[in-house]
Amino acid sequence: MKNQLVASVLNADLGRLGEVCTILEGAGLNAIQWDVMDGHFVPNLTVGAGVIAACRPATGLPFEAHLMIDAPEPYLAEYVEAGCETIIVHAETCTHLHRTLDLIHDLGAKAGLALNPSTPLDACVHVMDLLDLLLVMTVNPGFGGQSYIETMESKIAAARNLIEGSGREVSLEVDGGVSPATISQPAAAGADRFVVGSALYKQGDPARVVDELKLSLGYSSNPPRAE
Ligand code: DX5
54 within a domain of the structure (yes/no): yes
pLDDT computed for residue 227 by the predictor: 46
Query: What rounded mean pLDDT belongs to the chain?
Result: 96
Residues in the chain: 227
Each residue's pLDDT tens digit, 31-83: 999 999 999 999 999 999 999 999 999 999 999 999 999 999 999 999 999 99
Instruction: Choose, from 35, 38, 132, 211, the residue flagged as catalytic.
Output: 35
Q: Is 38 left (phi over 0), alpha (psi -120 to 50) or beta?
A: alpha
Q: What is the pTM of this model?
A: 0.96
Assess whether pLDDT exceeds 70 at residue 214: yes
All residues at 6 or more sequence positions from 210 whose CB lies less than 8 Å from its CB, including other chains: 5, 27, 28, 29, 200, 223
Q: Is 102 tagged catalytic?
A: no
- Identify the CA nearest to 12 among candidates 41, 37, 40, 33: 33
- C-alpha to C-alpha distance for 199 and 5, rounded to whole angstroms: 12
Percentage of the chain lying above the pLDDT 90 cut: 94
Percentage of the chain lying above the pLDDT 70 cut: 96
Average pLDDT for residues 4-13, to the nearest whole number?
97
107 within a domain of the structure (yes/no): yes
CB 92 within 8 A of CB 119: yes
Task: Output the residue whose Cα is nearest ligand 1's atom 4.
Answer: 144
209 within a domain of the structure (yes/no): no
Task: Output the residue whose Cα is nearest ligand 1's atom 12.
Answer: 197
- C-alpha to C-alpha distance for 134 and 187, rounded to whole angstroms: 14
pLDDT computed for residue 221 by the predictor: 55
pLDDT computed for residue 140 by the predictor: 98
Domain ranges, residue 86: 4-203
226 within a domain of the structure (yes/no): no
Report CA-CA distances (Å) from 200 to 51, 124, 221. Answer: 21, 30, 19
**Residue 111 belongs to domain with CATH number:** 3.20.20.70
220 within a domain of the structure (yes/no): no
182 within a domain of the structure (yes/no): yes
pLDDT computed for residue 1 by the predictor: 67
Task: Output the residue whose Cα is nearest ligand 1's atom 1.
Answer: 141
Assess whether pLDDT exceeds 60 at residue 14: yes
Average pLDDT for residues 8-24, to the nearest whole number?
97
- Identify the CA nearest to 29 among candidates 8, 60, 6: 6
Q: Which atom of ligand 1 is nearest to the CA of 8?
A: 9
Number of domains comprising the chain = 1
* DSSP 8-class letter at 201: H
30 within a domain of the structure (yes/no): yes
208 within a domain of the structure (yes/no): no
Q: Is 175 tagged catalytic?
A: yes
Please indicate whether residue 206, judged by its CB atom, sits closer than 6 Å to ligand 1.
no
Give the confidence band of 2 by pLDDT, cuts at 50, 70, 90: confident
Instruction: Choose, from 38, 132, 175, 211, the residue flagged as catalytic.
Output: 175
